[in-house]
Amino acid sequence: MNEPAIRIDSLTVGYGRRAVLRDVDLEVPAGTTTVLLGRNGAGKTTLLKACLGLLRPSAGRVRVAGLAVEAAAARVRRLVGYVPDRPDAWPWMSPRDLLRFLGAHFAGPVVARGLALLERFEVPPNLAFRHLSRGQGMKAMLAAALAHDPRVLLLDEPFGGLDAVGREEVLVRVIDALGEAPRTVLLATHDLEVAVRVADAVAVVAAGRVTALEAAAPDAEPALTPDALKAALERGPVPFGGIPACARS
Amino acid sequence: MDLCVDPRSPVPPSRQLVEGLLGAVARGALGVGDQLPSVRSLAAAVVLNPNTVERAIRELQALGVAEGRPGAGVFVTPRGPALARRRRRAQTLADLRRALRAAVEAGHAPETLGRRVGRWLGPTLHPAGEDPRR
């Protein structure tokens, strides 16, 4: 594999003077899914926002699809689909309105593709967001994020606040989107079962650090089981000089 | 074909899928020359990352149980069922041995255990439908 789709080097980023993440390295190879596992407030959203160019790093850099995010934030955002942790459209908006709004910002048949996705996801396109269930709302957000057929997806707790049925509904659609075309995904969650189902790789976010979960043996895959992930989550951050967040090739 | 992946299992999902597919071939749910489901449809059915599904199918090919035909798909090989059954036999035997060792460690006398296992096997060897737990 050549240039990873997402590459984060020595990133320090936060809000004002407060650094939420310190000296973070992470690589997500093209066509793979990395799950960011961490508790609430660990810095998962901050990392995703840095990938979108919504936060200016105080040190380090982020490259998405080979583009430096700081220099080309607008271009990067056109290449990326982003799903926030709650349906953040205006309550009076319908999913169709949201697609029209997005259609003005993206080239290509965004509205038509988005409407087809809404139909596949079984979301009523003309009902205002305030009348949609949380699960329907999240599926609408996912459809909107996929409408321009992005190769990179940034998903911030898309299953948060959903019951088991809603979670499964959204998860099935995420899996469907992965099967439709090769996509690179960075998915923040604290849900171990979701992580087990979708991850090619897992990185634990804790105490301002991001630590890739390593396989027990070289060449082996990391053990994707809830127990292994829970242990990794509880181990927390690795002291500086510990396991690197990514292997440089 | 009945395939299930349990995300709570201590067995990683890719492993579960390989074993599930081998089971389907061993049972005959997937016969010689049968086409395996596509990566995308299998991923949707078991709710797993398509990359994980692809790895599982590649492992089946590496084991010689399935083979890819360019542009057509992946199919069960003629020796697939025999290979899958042999693997399954070896695995169940290893499981049985582990269970017996645990039983002996828990204080069961080996001779009594042997007699009991013999008795449990009775109903499966003879048609009478007796509860094997007794």
- Give residue A243's pLDDT: 38
Report d(CA B77, CA B66) in Å as an integer: 5
Residues B65, B89, single domain; the answer is no
Residues B19, B73, single domain; the answer is yes
- Give residue A199's pLDDT: 92
**How many CB pairs (< 8 A) connect A and B?**
58
Over residues A103-130, the mean pLDDT reads 92
**pLDDT tens per residue across span A121-136:** 999 999 999 999 989 9
Residues B89, B117, single domain; the answer is yes
Over residues A147-154, the mean pLDDT reads 93
**pLDDT tens per residue across span B23-38:** 999 999 999 999 999 9
Contact call for residues B20 and B52 (beta carbons, < 8 A) = no
ipTM: 0.82
Residue appearing with tokens 């004002």: A16
Contact call for residues B121 and B113 (beta carbons, < 8 A) = no
Indicate whether B47 belongs to any domain.
yes
Percent of chain B with pLDDT over 90: 72
Residues B55, B41, single domain; the answer is yes
* Residue B31 in tokens: 């016969």
Rounded to a whole number of angstroms, the distance from the CA of A236 to the nearest CA of chain B is 21
Report d(CA B125, CA A23) in Å as an integer: 66
Indicate whether B133 belongs to any domain.
no
Residues B96, B109, single domain; the answer is yes
Tell me, yes or no, if A198 comes closer than 8 A to chain B by beta carbon.
yes
pTM of the model: 0.84
**CATH assignment at residue B69:** 1.10.10.10
Nearest by CB: A193 against B7, B39, B43? B7
Query: What is the pLDDT of chain B when averaged over all its residues?
Result: 89
Count: domains in chain B: 2
| Containing structural domain, residue B31 | 13-81
Residues B40, B71, single domain; the answer is yes
Tell me, yes or no, if A70 comes closer than 8 A to chain B by beta carbon.
no
Q: Nearest 5 degrees, angle CA B23-CA B24-CA B25?
A: 90
Report d(CA B58, CA A125) in Å as an integer: 40
At B108 the three-state DSSP class reads: coil
Higher local confidence (pLDDT), A39 or A236: A39
Residues B71, B31, single domain; the answer is yes
Tell me, yes or no, if A149 comes closer than 8 A to chain B by beta carbon.
no
At B87 the three-state DSSP class reads: helix
Residues B50, B91, single domain; the answer is no
- Give residue A69's pLDDT: 92
Contact call for residues A170 and A142 (beta carbons, < 8 A) = yes
